[in-house]
Chains A and B, each alone.
Chain A
């Protein structure tokens, strides 16, 4: 397996505070990695280091020569001082043929939004547009920073279903930061629990049972996550059960 990104012993010290401490991780082809962790754990900082937006204080990051990374930020300002349509936004500083535009729009289900103004979109629509722009770059690594943070529960769920579809249909890896533990656990292949350092990592199943995870998110959460993941293994439907709704309130 080829490593797209290989990071070793990353540390970030910001204003005298240690934000990241000795974090190592590799992203291979066809990986689906989710970083979870409490607020202020350094998740976004880690993402920014990995995609080269931020220089770590210590440590090394090696990237593969054929890495094509695309990034979708948390959210987008909805200010309407700048008038721009979705179509124009997708092609802004981004050479794209009509065919490529149509393909990406269809894939992210934004074809009917192309002529709308960006500021008139709902949160879920805006996230799909950002995803579309990222996919238009034909990445082999898609980096998403809390992509569904500001969406309501239904929109969150359909957004993660969309991500899952993209992961299945395209030759790409996904690296994602997320708060929506219950949804993340269902679709990720690997989960990294971060609290300044890597507390634990592995399959979703192994992470929720890890004592470190229990320490950070509490035994109740761990138990619920384990149940949810178990159920998810049996039926691939994405309906929310009562447990799940509950968890989203806690997280």
Chain B
């Protein structure tokens, strides 16, 4: 196999198994729109990174975290319903990001690769960043698993039992920001949410416990990446959309099997 394909496969698998368990929480906490907004805000990060010449992944992480904190704060103010707020902020971020990128005088910027991913361009350096980010997310998720799960079940109960819900929610949004930063190259801004929620949704049909759902979704996401990359290579189709389409196919297959067997 060629080098670029091996890099792509490794990067894709890491992102898959990191996104999947985090995606379970996104499904449990009904935060998919939040994930979408966070991803949109990262375009602002990309634009800033290109303008200032800073590391793109780090800039995305900083901008997305800032965006998440701003959002949590605005939510606390209760001026607008959360979905309205998310709609305003996410599209504003997307629009401003696109304008900034169009103003940068550089012919080499391929906006398409940011929006839909460019997994075949993953190099050794990118792999290191993705691995570190992924390891950090997984280890934090593992450490705080029970507290996160309790909050997802019932925030009030968690708070009454002494779990510091605000801190945990902040940590969770930080994990989301890291995942967005390391996933952009793989599936792109517009498709990140699907990597979070489709494997989790497919796993839900079979899982009997939170852990089972997390592991099953990892497995499903990994299958989607392998199928997606394979079809991208053989039929010469864009890899990000191919991965997401594969995930959707696995989800449909799983839903169909489930409804036939039960």
Known pairs A82-B152, A83-B204, A92-B150; A73 contacts B157 (CB<8 A): yes
* Whole-angstrom CA separation of A226 from B174 in the bound complex: 57
Q: Which residues of A contact B147 (CB under 8 A)?
A: 93
Check A84–B160 contact: CB distance below 8 A: no
Q: Which residues of A contact B158 (CB under 8 A)?
A: 93
Q: Nearest B residue to A87 by beta-carbon distance?
A: B209
- Interface residues of A, count at CB 8 A: 21
A32 located at the interface, meaning its Cβ lies under 8 Å from any Cβ of chain B in the complex: no
Check A92–B204 contact: CB distance below 8 A: no
Q: A105-124: which residues lie under 8 A (CB-CB) from chain B?
A: 117-118
A39 located at the interface, meaning its Cβ lies under 8 Å from any Cβ of chain B in the complex: no
* Whole-angstrom CA separation of A84 from B28 in the bound complex: 12
Q: Which residues of A contact B209 (CB under 8 A)?
A: 83-85, 88
Q: Which residues of B contact A82 (CB under 8 A)?
A: 28, 149, 152-153, 210, 213
Check B160–A76 contact: CB distance below 8 A: no
Check B154–A76 contact: CB distance below 8 A: yes
Tell me the number of A-to-B contacts counted with CB atoms below 8 Å. Answer: 59
Q: A131-145: which residues lie under 8 A (CB-CB) from chain B?
A: 133, 137, 143
Query: Quick one: which of A73, A84, A130, A133 contacts B210, CB cutoff 8 A?
Result: A84
Secondary structure call for the A interface: loop
Check A83–B212 contact: CB distance below 8 A: yes
A81 located at the interface, meaning its Cβ lies under 8 Å from any Cβ of chain B in the complex: yes
B83 located at the interface, meaning its Cβ lies under 8 Å from any Cβ of chain A in the complex: no
Q: Which residues of A contact B207 (CB under 8 A)?
A: 83
Q: Which residues of B contact A73 (CB under 8 A)?
A: 154, 156-157, 160
Check B213–A93 contact: CB distance below 8 A: no
B110 located at the interface, meaning its Cβ lies under 8 Å from any Cβ of chain A in the complex: no
Q: Nearest B residue to A88 by beta-carbon distance?
A: B209
Chain A 55-96 interface 0/1 with B at a Cβ cutoff of 8 Å (1 = within): 000000000000000010100110001111100110011000
Closest 10 CB pairs of A and B: A71-B160, A93-B146, A82-B28, A93-B150, A83-B207, A73-B156, A73-B157, A81-B28, A81-B27, A83-B208
Besides A76-B154, A83-B213, A92-B153, 5 other CB < 8 A contacts? A71-B161, A76-B157, A81-B30, A88-B209, A93-B150
Ordered by A's residue number, 14 sampled pairs between the chains whose C-beta atoms are within 8 Å are: A53-B160, A71-B160, A77-B153, A77-B154, A82-B152, A82-B153, A83-B210, A85-B208, A89-B153, A92-B146, A93-B146, A93-B150, A93-B158, A130-B157
